[in-house]
Amino acid sequence: MIRSINVDRLRRGLAAVLLIAALVQGTPAVAMIAKGWLAGVLINMAWQHGITSKQVTKPWPWADIVPVARLQVPKYDIDQIVLSDVSGEALAFGPGMVVGTGDTGMTRLISGHRDSYFGFLEMLRVDDEIRLTMADGVKQIFRVTSTDIVDRRDVTISVSGTNLLVLSTCYPFGRLQPRGDLRYLVSAVPQGHI
């Protein structure tokens, strides 16, 4: 009986040590997850404030990004805030609109990471509906017309004279290696305003 008590104490003590070690080791990961969650909350609040006040609103005072659109794909329950930049730092917080492509009547190019926000592009099919709400309140419905895999070195997307929506991410999906030369493009045409 004494032996089993010592074994039980030893097991509990070892479990406590392992738990403490896991918490200490996991603290940076937990902090990263918490910061990501908080950034998402702040970005959504900045979007809502911008829509109601008609003023561009930074999600936090030192942010280099602002919310410029809301992208929704009802069929797949996708609802994302689009940011004003496509730098690696900005794309960590959400998809970004390529500078100069947000005006009505022009092609809008939105890019995102394949392993996070734009992983859903793989599911999109021709005729799927995409909704885009711009910061000025203009809401449009787009219909997917094509999906393409292109070499980023060989593709040019015209941004003037058309009213397309192009969503872009790295390809292939599920690849762990960053970057690469292939891009997956989803093109959509306007179907009207909401």
Whether residue 95 contacts residue 110, with contact meaning beta carbons closer than 8 Å, is answered with: yes
Average pLDDT of the residues in 5-10: 68
What's the confidence (pLDDT) of residue 36? 83
Distance CA 135, CA 117 (A): 20
The whole domain housing 12 covers 1-63
Same domain, 47 and 78: no
Same domain, 82 and 43: no
Same domain, 110 and 127: yes
Domain count, the chain: 2
Whether residue 98 contacts residue 152, with contact meaning beta carbons closer than 8 Å, is answered with: no
Whether residue 148 contacts residue 187, with contact meaning beta carbons closer than 8 Å, is answered with: yes
DSSP tag of 121: G
Same domain, 146 and 172: yes
What does the pLDDT look like over 72-121, one tens digit per residue?
999 999 999 999 999 888 899 999 998 776 666 678 899 999 988 999 99
**In this predicted model, which residue has the larger pLDDT, 5 or 146?**
146
What does the pLDDT look like over 125-181, one tens digit per residue?
999 999 999 998 889 999 999 999 988 888 666 555 578 899 999 898 887 777 778
SS3 of residue 73 by DSSP:
strand
For the whole model, what pTM was predicted? Answer: 0.80
Alpha-carbon dihedral sign for residues 23, 28, 33, 39 = positive
> 44, 63, 82 — which closes off a domain?
63
What's the confidence (pLDDT) of residue 106? 75
Same domain, 107 and 133: yes
